[in-house]
Amino acid sequence: MADAARPRALVVADSDSYLKWAVRRAADLREAYDVELVVVRNAVTPSAAQRAAAVDGRLPADPPLVTMEQLVARLRRDRPALLLLACRGPLIELLLLERLQGRRAADVVAAGIPGIWFPPTELGLLLRAACDLIIVHSIREREAVEAQLPPGRLRHVGLASLIEEEELGRSERPRIVFAPQALVPAAPEDRRRLLDSLVATAAAHPELDVVIKLRGLAGEAQTHKEAVSYEELAEGRELPDNLVFAQGPLREYLGDCAGFVTVSSTAALEAIAADVPTLVLDEFGVSADVINAVFEGSDLFGGLDDLEALRFRTPDAGWLAANYFHGQDDWVDVALAAGPGDPARMPDRLASPRQLRRRVFRRAVALGDEDGSVEGRLMRLARPLVRWLTGVLRRRRK
């Protein structure tokens, strides 16, 4: 039973990676708040298996699923002290500015990104401008976000740990682990070349297993849509017996791990925390677009030749202190001190009729077929018309 003397916090998650992050942040809150965690049904609702992997035994029960309509009704009826939106930006914007029309959803509304976010994106901040507090995970991220806060209610930046010490799984054989990422490398030929290198590594080192640690099974929704999966690329190929696809919490694969490799993944931080030698591939470039610029100065970069030769790295100590291994979490204290701010009005960029196409698209990204509202059904009917009108306008401009 909730303690009436303690403030209440409601944590809302939408996708698999955000749910994992939400579980961590809910644990941060429990000393100061009575905490409840729910998952809102949306375009990328995590499957039961994904929810179990994200919770990983850290909650007494799996979080319940609620519809957007149920969430809106609850926030209108019973405003919590803290609302933490562990959700993608379009869903946050839809909830706070369209469905709640800028009215207060909680005394303090917080949001964050469930991974490395450097450099922070202008769009990511803009979609969260109706929040009060943004949660980041490193000193560099905090400085960068504070330097570009958008107009709106968002005025506070709190610091939280992205990684935690966990009991590691063990294996009868040593292994190296590859953590894929949905967005990078983007080109199918680059992904195929990376798979070729993993196959070559497995063939050259039969004494160890090469594990491709998947985020989910084929057909399961993920935070970011993967253009072509490594499972699909491997179909019909003859693979070494020691190249295996696996899923589940990453910690289960980091024990007895000879090395960890990724292009750009928060999972690299989990490997570093577990003292696993790590390789961040620079084979496909180093930039914000490849989502690996944050690793500059880390001493972790290397190419596919380094992977095949098992040349893994140890991170630079100075880089660690500035990036995710800071030991100075304060976001809960910032939330407690923030207090209610001004109401958020619908900004001109959303209120204008010219923005109908953008709003239809964002709403589809946020909720997809889980949008059961009258507006959502009308917008689904309007999508073909909007696409047709867009095509007509483009042809007229030519």
From CA 362, how far away is CA 48, in angstroms rounded? 25
Q: Determine the pLDDT at residue 70.
A: 97
Beta strand 108-112 with 34-40 is unpaired
What's the sign of the alpha-carbon dihedral 53, 59, 62, 66? negative
List, in sequence order, the alpha helices (H) in 38-108: 48-55, 68-77, 89-93
Q: Let me know: does 22 contact 84? Beta carbons within 8 Å.
A: yes
**Domains of the chain by start residue, with CATH:** 8-161+327-338 (3.40.50.2000), 175-320 (3.40.50.2000), 348-397 (no CATH)
What end-to-end distance do the CA atoms of the chain give, in Å? 65
pLDDT tens across 147-190, in order?
Answer: 999 888 899 999 999 988 888 999 989 999 999 998 899 999 99
DSSP 3-state of 89: helix
Name which of 69-73, 123-127, 220-224, 261-265 the model is least confident about.
220-224
Half-sphere exposure of 146 (CA within 13 A, CB side): 10
Q: Let me know: does 109 contact 342? Beta carbons within 8 Å.
A: no
From CA 396, how far away is CA 392, in angstroms rounded? 6
pLDDT tens across 138-153, in order?
Answer: 999 999 999 999 888 8
Contacts (Cβ under 8 Å, ≥6 apart) of 283: 190, 193, 194, 263, 303, 304
In degrees, rounded to 5, the angle at the alpha carbon of residue 83 between the alpha carbons of residues 78 and 89 is 125
Q: Determine the pLDDT at residue 360.
A: 78
From CA 201, how far away is CA 307, in angstroms rounded? 7
Contacts (Cβ under 8 Å, ≥6 apart) of 67: 40, 41, 370, 372
Tokens of 308: 């095949």
Q: Is 20 exposed, middle or buried (0-12, 13-18, 19+ CB in 10 A)?
A: buried
pLDDT tens across 67-125, in order?
Answer: 999 999 999 999 999 999 999 999 999 999 989 988 899 999 999 999 999 999 999 99
